[in-house]
Amino acid sequence: MLLGKSVAKVKQINLKYKHRKIIGNFSLSGSKSVSNRLLVIRALAESKVQFGNLSTSADSQLLKSYLKLITVCASSAIPMVIDAKNAGTVFRFLAAYLAINEGVWLLTGNKRMKERPIEGLTLALDNLGVEITYAGKNNFAPLRIVGSDIDGGSVEVDPSASSQFVSALMLIAPYLEKGLQIQMKKKPVSFSYILMTQKLMQEFGAKVQVQKNKVVVESGEYQMKTYQIEPDWSSTSYFYEMAALSENADIFLSGFSSDSVQGDRVAVEVFEQLGVITSFENNGIRLKSGAHSTSSFSYDFSSCPDLVPAVLASCAGKGIHAVLKGVGHLKYKESDRIASMQAELFKTGTILKRKANSVELIPSEIDLSKSHCVFDTCGDHRIAMSLAPLVLKLASVKINNPEVVKKSYPLFWDDMERLGIKKEEIELTTDN
């Protein structure tokens, strides 16, 4: 080893697929988005009620642990440092939650979190009288928050970068003396998540009205009860992708129904265009391949952005020309997701042409079945999980840093193996 150089160990997973029927039955963890909202609701109500099928995702478990710790440390005069890592929901929900909890808090995150937008929420909290300041670069994490009682009233929010700014304020609004009226200055992205927040708040007794550009929440308290969390529709997109790329798939996912608060339930209609038929059965959904696929795909993903990586990979694998609209705000996710998919799919010969709020996919002209690809995850769980099913079309696939899937789907690689994808975990040593 040369002096002055350090050695880093990088994990990689090697995937191989022997052509056979893609078949399996799966029970997925509870929705991460639903779980995170319910954890905040429970903490605000100072309740210990238990939720069934709480998400096992690293994000939800992180939020759960911090909410418990905050309760213990709230009476301390010593500033508490909270590291949300790269969990946008955790960071934004806690920013609002800490604002009404007495104490001095330093809310931070990892390098990528410090690049993600927060200004829309911090401006709103500041206008509501919260003592909140940037502890580093203006308009980005970390934040110093002095929690106290705030009156509420009315406030303007710019939700064009993230709907979580609105959801974070909605969740705390019943505990403000005057309630809260939120005026959205611009069209919100991911509006379906604002509606999810509304429905869950109403489920626990809050009075909430959501209009096109305004949200009104009355002052009050949450009325807690036991609740069974529905499984995660976002996670179904990788099973849909497997079915889309397979000539013979029969996958059953238990616990899903058409009556869902999750916007990603539109996966049913999205992937129908890509040849996957969904059957709603008594206790779940069944995905089958073999239906006719469109030759040219187009869809607006403004309210279901988490489906984008799997759809892009599906179109690349099937050789379908595609235009995906409403994707501009994906640059603010765990990675710049369009840039990440652009770089990784280029390894298959697929071209992504990016515009301000859309992306065009031009299929590869090379023989994918003879291609061996090593994909980077870009530190993003959804990039990793969307690229893995391409092993059904490629000669082999290697994924760097596969552990990122723990953020939302810890059992992903095990479940892929149950579908017949052979995996070999490798530890590489590199010089820094």
pLDDT (tens place) for every residue of the chain, 432 residues total: 344 454 456 799 999 998 778 999 999 999 999 999 999 999 999 999 999 999 999 999 999 999 999 988 876 667 789 999 999 999 999 999 999 999 999 999 999 999 999 999 999 999 999 999 999 999 999 999 999 999 999 999 999 999 999 999 999 999 999 999 999 999 999 999 999 999 999 999 999 999 989 999 999 999 999 999 999 999 999 999 999 999 999 999 999 999 999 999 999 999 999 999 999 999 999 999 987 899 999 999 999 999 999 999 999 999 999 999 999 999 999 999 999 999 999 999 999 999 999 999 999 999 999 999 999 999 999 999 999 999 999 999 999 999 999 999 999 999 999 999 999 999 877 665
pLDDT of residue 3: 43
- State the first-to-last Cα distance of the chain, in angstroms, to the nearest integer: 11
pLDDT of residue 1: 38
Fold match between domain 7-28+231-431 and domain 32-228: yes
7-28+231-431 folds as UDP-n-acetylglucosamine1-carboxyvinyl-transferase; Chain (3.65.10)
Catalytic residue numbers, as ranges: 306
pLDDT of residue 71: 84
Buried (b) or exposed (e) across 275-312, using 16+ Cβ within 10 A?
bbebeeeeebbbbbbeeebeeebebebbbbbbbbbbbb
How far apart, in whole angstroms, are the C-alpha atoms of residue 293 and residue 307?
18
What's the pTM value of the predicted model, to 2 decimals? 0.94
pLDDT of residue 430: 63
CATH superfamily of 32-228: Enolpyruvate transferase domain (3.65.10.10)
How far apart, in whole angstroms, are the C-alpha atoms of residue 163 and residue 171?
13
Residue type, 326: G
Structural domain boundaries in the chain: 7-28+231-431, 32-228
